[in-house]
Structure 1
Amino acid sequence: MIAINSKLSLCPIKPEDQPILFALMQEIYTSAYQDFWKNDCSWYLDLCFSTKNLNKELNRNTSHYFFIEYNGIKAGILKYDFPFSPKQIEIPNSMKLHRLYLHEDLHGTGVAKALMDWLEKIAMEVKLDSIWLEAMEQKPQARRFYEKMGFELIHSYQLDFEQLKPDYRGIQTYQKKITG
């Protein structure tokens, strides 16, 4: 368990946590992204949060995967990888913020900012040059948050997921240079 502050902590996800992870993400992801998908988002949930994919991600030595706990309750997930560079453009010596999902009740509470500050501290400690992430073009509140946190848009592309509605396939890559 990693304490971020008195209310917020990170608990490493283990393979046996897959049913809990899947149920949590079914609630959080579905409420935030259901409208992006042609049918429903079960295909994406199965792709990302299946036992097979979880084991694959946990077996990477570059991967760090946690439940976000707020007041002792699982309220989201955080996953980051380093060193990790995107396929589309080269970002050397960097950390990818791969997943940050919070229950909607925690939006606007400062939890995401506390997690981003903690991630930046980790990146400085391991002497990385930057943190990068990808955000859906059609999620303006997420993009505004990342920009407020000092991330800059560096690349855009389209996802090739046929199950996504065409108007929701835009992805934007953001980067924040680490100073310190």
Structure 2
Amino acid sequence: MDLNVRPARLDDVHDLARILVAGWHSTYKNIVSKSFLERLTIEKSVERMKKNVSDLDYFFVLELNNDVIGFSAGGKQRSDEFAEYKGEVYSIYLYEEFQGLGGGKFLFNTMLKSLREEQMDPITVAVLSQNTPAIKFYEKMGGECIGKDQIQIGDDFFEELIYAYK
């Protein structure tokens, strides 16, 4: 198994959009509304991914044998409430069938290292409180829950747990 992490490129956007949509459907199917998930399309997500790849300084893809199977995005802290934490991991997504093989850890560690190299440390990541597998992952990676926040997804509000890495 040949895993590789590299910076995302514009020619990755279709793969990234497929991973994003698949990730939302597999991860959030019993959390967010069905109507919200039905509105997520690869076509709409391609435009979002083009913008992210162009605008974000920290956007990585995970490859397995040269096929893109996951991605992570991060950068400067976006929340005023956690402003003392300089960096933030915005997202991490892997195709469900590749979870648990070490790729998520590889992506996450690459993101943490990159942010720390740019003095964006300490670092946070937000996770929906209903996303138990992700909570276990972030805790296993050494995160400490430092607070809670609210996020709106579609018409509904959800609690997020904020994990810190110092």
Aligned residues: 165
Identity over aligned pairs, percent: 21
What secondary structure does 2:83 align onto? coil
Describe how 1:91-130 pairs up with structure 2 within 5 A. Answer: 91-92=84-85, 94-130=86-122
Counterpart amino acid of residue 171 in structure 1: E
Q: 1:85, 1:91 within 8 Å by CA — same for their partners in 2?
A: no
Instruction: Identify the residue that residue 37 of structure 2 maps to in structure 1.
Output: 41
Instruction: Identify the residue that residue 10 of structure 1 maps to in structure 2.
Output: 5
How big is each residue's C-alpha offset from its partner over 1:53-107, in whole Å with a ceiling of 9 and x where there is no partner? 33433343x53223211222221111111x3342333234x22111111122222
Stretches of 4+ aligned residues off by more than 4 angstroms:
none
- Distance between the aligned counterparts of 1:89 and 1:56, measured in 2? 25
Counterpart amino acid of residue 19 in structure 2: L
Q: 2:27, 2:131 within 8 Å by CA — same for their partners in 1?
A: no
Give unpaired runs (5+ residues) of structure 2. none
Note closer, same or farther for the CA distance 1:49–1:64 as it changes in structure 2 (3 Å cut): farther
Q: 2:36, 2:154 within 8 Å by CA — same for their partners in 1?
A: no
Q: 1:159, 1:170 within 8 Å by CA — same for their partners in 2?
A: yes
Give unpaired runs (5+ residues) of structure 1. 1-5
Instruction: Identify the residue that residue 88 of structure 1 maps to in structure 2.
Output: 81
Determine which of 66, 69, 78 is the counterpart of 1:75: 69
Computed over aligned residues only, the root mean square deviation of the Cα atoms, in angstroms, reads: 2.7
Greater RCO structure (CA 8 Å; 6+ sep)? 2
Structure 1 range deviating more: 140-149 or 153-162:
153-162
Q: 1:34, 1:40 within 8 Å by CA — same for their partners in 2?
A: no
TM-score by length of 1: 0.75
TM-score by length of 2: 0.81
